[in-house]
């Protein structure tokens, strides 16, 4: 096999890996909202998880779109990475981010009974810590944007100083931060309940496979460019894969080892009195229908 043939083969493998990780990670958004819909309940899912996800994925969607379609950002990236001027962000990265942003909004909306009519736990409220992190991250991006405008050269269009690409990197780091932090509340909720009931393991299985596929594509793309700075030049994708894999292993431990045999139901302790009474009425109605049959 010639060098050209080998390169073409590697590029084909990269494209396949990219779409496989896209399909895997994209599919991971569906099991939980479907489970919530079938149960008519969000119990078992930490609300902090989709709250941070909404912010993270919208930032990631803007970041990937900028690297793909903004001439300013692409030229500034080339200026800062002269040895590998082409970004390793791919169209499947943007499509995944945009799809994820939309799905995160849907999952977050399921915590509003007026919209879906689902049972929501009395403790399922966004924590003050997460709210602080949420608005702190937004403020951080705004500060970087102001730095680019007021302290950069040519209002941030000169990449030799503070520039608009730094704002895009800031959006990417917001995504990276939310990926790390969003898993912690869910792991804590599972720990407090000593159960993973109501929380779907299937997104984690898809997450795990998607993480490895994403890292494999990033390594191949950097190898094709003959410059491993392609990895450090795309820190969000690198971090997403690694952080996802580590936390997925924690969730596997909780679901398949620590709480595998724990069948204790905790839902009745988590709903408010009005919702509990309504649930009991529905159960009683079902029992009456069964006896009538």
Provide the residue count of the chain.
293
Rg (the chain; Cα; Å): 22
End-to-end C-alpha distance for the chain, whole angstroms: 73
Cα gap 116→242, rounded to integer Å: 35
Cα gap 213→245, rounded to integer Å: 11
Q: Model confidence over 143-155: pLDDT tens digits? A: 999 999 999 888 8
Question: 150 and 143 in contact (C-beta within 8 Å)?
Answer: no
For residue 41, the cross-strand partners are 119
> What pLDDT is stored for residue 136 in this prediction?
97
Question: 218 and 231 in contact (C-beta within 8 Å)?
Answer: yes
Q: Model confidence over 156-176: pLDDT tens digits? A: 898 888 999 999 999 988 988
For residue 119, the cross-strand partners are 41
Among residues 5, 79, 59, 28, the alpha carbon closest in space to that of 209 is found at 28
Could you give the count of Cα atoms lying within 13 Å of 274 in the half-sphere of its Cβ?
Answer: 5
Instruction: Name residue, tokens 């078992």.
Output: 44
CB-CB neighbours of 286 under 10 Å: 10
**What tokens does 266 get?**
């905790």
Among residues 56, 52, 58, 57, the alpha carbon closest in space to that of 183 is found at 52
Question: 111 and 202 in contact (C-beta within 8 Å)?
Answer: no
Q: Model confidence over 79-100: pLDDT tens digits? A: 888 877 788 788 888 988 999 9
Cα gap 83→73, rounded to integer Å: 17
Low-confidence ranges of the chain (pLDDT < 70): 1, 3, 225-241, 262-293
């Amino acid at each position: 096999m010639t060098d050209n043939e080998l390169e073409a083969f590697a590029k084909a493998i990269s494209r396949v890996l990219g779409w496989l990780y896209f399909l895997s990670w994209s599919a991971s958004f569906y099991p939980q909202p479907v489970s919530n819909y079938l149960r008519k309940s969000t119990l078992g899912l930490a609300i902090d998880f989709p709250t941070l996800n909404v912010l993270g994925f919208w930032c990631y969607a803007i970041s990937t779109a900028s690297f793909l379609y903004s001439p300013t950002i692409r030229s500034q990236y080339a200026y800062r990475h002269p040895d590998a001027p082409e970004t390793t962000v791919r169209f499947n990265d943007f499509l995944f981010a945009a799809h994820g942003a939309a799905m995160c909004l849907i999952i977050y909306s399921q915590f509003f009974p007026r919209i879906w009519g689902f049972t929501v736990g009395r403790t399922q409220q966004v924590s003050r810590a997460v709210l602080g992190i949420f608005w702190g991250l937004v403020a951080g991006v705004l500060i970087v944007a102001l730095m680019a405008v007021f302290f950069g050269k040519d209002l941030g269009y000169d990449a030799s100083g503070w520039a608009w690409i730094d704002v895009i990197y800031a959006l990417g780091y917001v995504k990276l931060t939310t990926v790390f932090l969003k898993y912690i509340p869910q792991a804590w909720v599972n720990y407090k309940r000593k159960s993973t009931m109501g929380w779907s393991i299937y997104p984690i299985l898809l997450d795990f496979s998607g993480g490895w596929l994403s890292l494999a594509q990033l390594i191949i793309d950097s190898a094709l460019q003959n410059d491993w700075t392609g990895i450090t030049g795309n820190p969000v994708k690198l971090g997403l894969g690694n952080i996802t894999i580590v936390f997925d292993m924690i969730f596997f431990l909780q679901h398949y080892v620590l709480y595998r045999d724990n069948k204790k139901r905790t839902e009745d302790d988590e709903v408010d009195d009005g919702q509990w009474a309504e649930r009991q009425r529905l159960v009683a109605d079902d029992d009456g229908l069964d006896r009538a049959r």
